[in-house]
Amino acid sequence: MLRADPCAEVVILEELDGLLERSGPKRAYIGFEPSGLAHVGWLIAVEKVKQLQACGFDVTILLADWHAYINDKLGGDLQRIRRCGAYMEQCFLGLGVDRHTTRFVYASDYIGDAAYWELVIKVGKAASLTRIKRALTIMGRSEDEADLDSSKMLYPLMQVADIFFLQADIALGGMDQRKAHMLMRDVAPKLGRTPAVAIHTPLLCSLKGGASRMDPLEAKMSKSDPSSALYLHDTPQALRDKLAKAYCPAKEVEGNPLLQLARFVLFSRPSAALSISRPPKFGGDVTFASYADLERAFVGGALHPSDLKSAVAQALADHLAPVREHLGEHRALLDEVASFAATR
């Protein structure tokens, strides 16, 4: 079943309904730059991948190595970027994506295909330079940065061409990828193609907070800032320590990373619940069966921030146990990528 959470937007819902009812092969795609250590925001995308697979979709996970190179990730070292791609494959497998309906593809697999570059050029001819520059925010860049490095202009064109080349019926990504997906939908009719349905997932805000005071894209959790992010391999103690320091003002919902983790990660699973352990004098133990009940208690003052932090830390530690164990079996690869991230 394809559930509403974790989902921020579907473009267009009626088209998605048609896909879900359609028989025969169905394909979804999501792209990731191999650019460092994976954080818990990935859990949101992976949950949606699992839902799509349960609905009969084959999912292609694009490990966009050439895109990462254009975006200057890991020092622009393609060898390091591809090693990071191998690490990312293990992250997805550890998070439980279906091995049989998941295909891992690197941009390197088709970068030499003339048909792909024909698509890139056709996308470019169907869109204005101004529109392409506006889409540079998908790579965390400003429009002006293309003035110093013109290769940046290729990135949005390649991302749109990826969707067509991989024959995706659904383009899945965070809200930060919206401009590329909308560009794809705009140019598709000009190229005689059916636009993919775009499913956008919410972005987790930094543990430092701030999403209520600035653009959510600027305040999102970043893997490059260890103090703002929870990594998939973090130990239970590391999770407790980081969340104990996290931004979580009493009774406030907007921009609260603890409530976002509860809603978009912990309660996105079927039959999820969150248990709070506390002394009787502070209300005693309580279990919340829905995010709505949890938020209501927090806003009403019946749930203290410290109790929420402790409960989320424990629930996340339990939830991440399988991927933490899986990455432990690939410790050399994890350490290698961690060293890349530390020296870039």
| Count of Cβ atoms closer than 10 Å to residue 280 Cβ | 7
Q: What is the pLDDT of residue 337?
A: 96
| 28, β-bridge pairs | 59, 170
Under-50 pLDDT residues of the chain: 212-214
- φ and ψ at 102, to 5 degrees? -115, 130
What long-range pairs does 186-190 form, CB within 8 A, spacing at least 24?
186/126, 186/127, 186/131, 187/123, 187/126, 187/127, 187/160, 188/164, 190/126
Domains of the chain, CATH where assigned: 9-201 (3.40.50.620), 236-343 (1.10.240.10)
Structure tokens at 71: 């975006």
> DSSP secondary structure string, 197-213?
EEEEEPPPBPTT--TTT
Nearest to 266 by CA among 2, 84, 3, 6: 6
- φ and ψ at 141, to 5 degrees? -120, 155
For residues 306-338, one letter each, b for 16 or more C-beta atoms within 10 angstroms of the residue's C-beta and e for the rest, the string is ebbbbbbbbbbbebbeebbebbeebeebbebbe
- pLDDT tens digits for range 112-152: 999 999 999 999 999 999 999 888 887 777 666 666 688 99
Distance CA 224, CA 243 (A): 17
Q: Return the SS3 of 101.
A: coil
pTM of the model: 0.91
